[in-house]
Amino acid sequence: MAKQLISYCGSPEAVFSASRKNLLKIPGFGPKNINHIKADICFPKAEKEINFILKNDIQTAYYLDSNYPARIKPYNDAPILLYYKGKNVLNEHRNIAIIGTRKPTEYGKEMVKQIIEELKPYDITLVSGLAYGIDVSAHKIALENEIPNIAVLGHGLHTLYPAVHRKVAKRIIQDGLLLTEFSSQAKFDKENFPQRNRIIAGLADALIVAESGESGGSIITANFANDYSKDVFAVPGRINDPTSIGCNNLIKQHKAHLINSVKDISYIMRWDVLQQEKQIQRSLFNELNEDEQTIIHILADVNDLSIDEIMIKSNKTPSATANDLLQLEFKGLLKSLPGKRYKLIK
């Protein structure tokens, strides 16, 4: 609803300044919603939250801001606002989520350790939920291997659940972050955690279920990941082990790839192939002319730019810019996007 309001009105400020007549024109928006906005009850809460954010060194990511996680932005159910504490690594590396049961076996914990250690050379960020069991084990092993973490929480940043993981959380924010869609005033509710799980799934380039019972949070997260067309992997286990039923079912139902080692992930995700392509691209860079190299440098630190922005920054004519962009596309270094925008192929 909030995104729909902003889309129709043009900005958050315009939502609150819009007339009742104009607000009633918005589909699905009735008098009760309008009364809520016009009563101004949001502003005291917002002021309180801003004070909390400033006092506790918390950052926000609005869904139209550049620091918002690009992986979840396209989804209709993506939060309009996220809160985080720590170093923003949301868009820096390959995001690999590892999740599982709260009561793992030694086999499950050993597989998590093996997988994370094998993942280290692939420049990843570990995503999980800081819950008991597999989640916190994954966070701890990532920290031991100097891999940044994103811990997605089911509550506001005024507290931490489970409290026993507070030391791990403090270590995470040194090179990674704690992330949540819940404000410090949000009610702590068990229904928050399935909401949290969709963010874990959305952030992940690949999601790994290490151990899971037949139902529960891990299966919910895997289903979200499948809905988002993410690659899901599951560690197989013995058919009679309760903590492997969920993983075995995901594999049996073709909802997850079977994983024995990170080689399986690399093959499915085409990481090694992409690395070879990058090496070819780097060798091609040396063969570019000065104007083409200028465009590469312009696009190096941004997500994408329009042809007009590239033209202005490169100080070239429209025809010369268009020709350079075309040549870079032919060489596989550049990708054209809708609206005459361009980005580097990384």
Residue 98, domain CATH: 3.40.50.450
Give the model's pLDDT for residue 282. Answer: 52
Residue 51 is assigned to a structural domain of this protein: no
Residue 58 is assigned to a structural domain of this protein: no
Domain span including residue 295: 272-344
- Same domain assignment for residues 257 and 310: no
Q: DSSP character for 216?
A: S
- Same domain assignment for residues 89 and 124: yes
If you search the block for the tokens 């919603």, which residue do you land on?
Answer: 33
Q: Single out the residue of 115, 119, 151, 120 nearest to residue 135, CA to CA.
A: 151
- Same domain assignment for residues 305 and 244: no
Residue 72 is assigned to a structural domain of this protein: no
- Same domain assignment for residues 264 and 288: no
Of 238, 269, 300, which residue constitutes the final position of a domain?
Answer: 269
Give the pTM: 0.78
Residue 48 is assigned to a structural domain of this protein: no
Q: How far apart are CA 147 and CA 124, in angstroms?
A: 7
- For residue 292, give the CATH number of its domain: 1.10.10.10
Residue 191 is assigned to a structural domain of this protein: yes
Give the model's pLDDT for residue 199. Answer: 98
Residue 53 is assigned to a structural domain of this protein: no
- Same domain assignment for residues 20 and 166: no
- Same domain assignment for residues 292 and 231: no
Q: What is the pLDDT of residues 218-240, one digit of tens each?
A: 999 999 999 999 999 999 999 99
Give the model's pLDDT for residue 57. Answer: 96
Residue 118 is assigned to a structural domain of this protein: yes
210, 98 contact by CB (below 8 A):
yes
- Same domain assignment for residues 128 and 187: yes
Give the model's pLDDT for residue 110. Answer: 97
- Same domain assignment for residues 4 and 142: no
Stretches in the chain below the pLDDT threshold 70: 1, 273-286, 346
- Same domain assignment for residues 188 and 218: yes
Count of domains observed in the chain: 3
Residue 125 is assigned to a structural domain of this protein: yes
Give the model's pLDDT for residue 12. Answer: 81
Q: What is the pLDDT of residues 169-202, one digit of tens each?
A: 999 999 999 999 999 999 999 899 999 999 999 9
Give the model's pLDDT for residue 29. Answer: 76
**Burial of 173: CB neighbours in 10 Å, binned 0-12, 13-18, 19+:** middle
- Same domain assignment for residues 18 and 141: no
Q: Single out the residue of 71, 105, 93 nearest to residue 235, CA to CA.
A: 105
Q: How far apart are CA 332 and CA 322, in angstroms?
A: 16
Give the model's pLDDT for residue 336. Answer: 86
- Same domain assignment for residues 197 and 322: no
- Same domain assignment for residues 158 and 175: yes
